[in-house]
A = this chain, B = another copy of it.
Amino acid sequence: MLVNQKSIAEKEGIYDLLPFILKPQNIARFENGQVLIGDRRQYPFKKVFVACHSIDEVAKAIKDMVTQGSGPWMAAAHALLLVADGNADEKQRLQKAREVLVATRPTNTAMARRLDYILNEAFKNMDAGESASNTILKLLNNMIVDIYDSYTLRAKYANTLIDKNDGILTHCFAEAGFILAMAMAKRDGKNISVYTPETRPFLQGAKLTAPSLHELDIEVRLITDNMPASMMSQGYIQKFITAADLITLDGYVVNKVGTFQSAIAAHYHQIPYYAFAWGVDENSATHDSIIIEQRNPEEVKTVLGEPTTLADIKACYPAFDITPPQLVSGIISVVGVLKADDLVGRGKL
C-alpha cells in the first residue's frame, strides 16, 4: 500500500513560483490517453506540447530531443500508463515498453533504474490485486514530490547566500533549484539582477534560463560566453551560482563546460562560487575517476542548425569541465551549504 508523501514544496507555495518550463505538468503529463511532452526545442518562442499516443511515439520524441534534463525519464515513466490498461499480457507489454524506452538513452542509466523501480513495484502490487496504472501514478507522483521538495530545500539554502542588490552570474540552465532561489530572493525584496551567458553550443542560457527568469519578472541580462570576467571587473557580479552534473566526494564540481573558467575569474575577483548539489556521487570518490563526455564536434560548428565555419575544419566539444574545491565557496545541499572539502560520509545531498 502506497501513501502519498507530504510535500514541502506545496506547503511553501513553490509550485506557484515556478516558471512555465519547470512546472512538472509542463515537462510531461498523461492526459486523455496521451502523453503530452513540453517541446523545449520550440521554447521560448512557442509553448507547445508533443502529443504521443504510443510507446513508439514517446520513444521517438525522446530521441528527437523534444525534452532534456529530467524530461526524458518523466516522459518515459508517463508512457508506461499508455500500456497499463488492465488488458491481457499487461506485464509483458509493460516490459516491452521498458525496453523500447530505455533504448532511447543507452548511456543514461538513471532512466533505466527509475523505470525498473516503478515496474517492480507495479508487478508486486498487481499480484496483490492493485492495478498497474494505480501504482505507476502513485510512484510517479511521489518521485516528483521528492524531486521538487529537494529543489525547495536547496533553493531555501541558496537564498540565504543572496544579499540585497546582488548581481548573480550563472551558467547554462541551473534547473529549478537555481530559478526557485532567485524567485525567493525577489519575493524577499532583495532586488537582484541575474547575468546569464547564452551557453553555446545549445544556447540553454538564452533559451531556458533567461526566459524562465524573465517570466518571473526577475531582472535578467543575457551575455555571451566570453563576457563573465568583463562583467565581474565592471562590478556587476557579487555571486556566481551554477548547478552541478556531478560532485565528487573530494569536492570537485563537474558541470557544463564554461563553469570552470567563470569559477577561475570569480576567484580572481574574490567573488564566491556556489554549486547546487544534485546528489554527490558516492561512486566518484575522487576527481581522477571522472571521464568527461566528448560530444560530437559538429555541434560546435553549427548554431541554431546553421554552419558557422567550413565543413572540413575540426572542432572540440568537451561537454563538461571540472572545477576544483579551491575555487568552490560552498555546495548547496538539502542539509545546508557545505564546504567542498567536507562531503565524505554526508550521504544523499
Contact = CB atoms under 8 A, between A and B. Distances in A.
A293 to B, nearest CB: 12
Interface string A256-267: 111011101100
How many chain copies? 2
A305 to B, nearest CB: 9
A103 interface: no
Interface string A217-241: 0011111111111110110000000
A86 interface: no
A144 interface: no
B306 A306 contact: yes
B258 A207 contact: no
Interface residues of A, number: 57
B264 A224 contact: no
A348 to B, nearest CB: 29
A33 interface: no
Given A44-B309, A200-B200, A301-B222, A321 B229 contact: yes
| Interface SS of chain A | mixed
Interface stretch (A72-80, A125-133, A310-318): A310-318
A195 interface: yes
A224 B225 contact: yes
A48 interface: no
Contacts of A220: 313-314
Contacts of A45: 307, 310
A210 B313 CA distance: 7
A201 B207 CA distance: 16
A188 to B, nearest CB: 22
A225 B264 CA distance: 15
Given A224-B317, A230-B321, 15 more contacts: A171-B226, A198-B200, A198-B300, A206-B309, A211-B309, A221-B316, A225-B226, A226-B258, A227-B318, A229-B261, A230-B257, A230-B258, A231-B318, A261-B262, A304-B304
Interface of A: 44-45, 171, 195, 197-201, 203, 206-207, 210-211, 214, 219-231, 233-234, 256-258, 260-262, 264-265, 268, 300-301, 303-304, 306-310, 312-318, 321-322
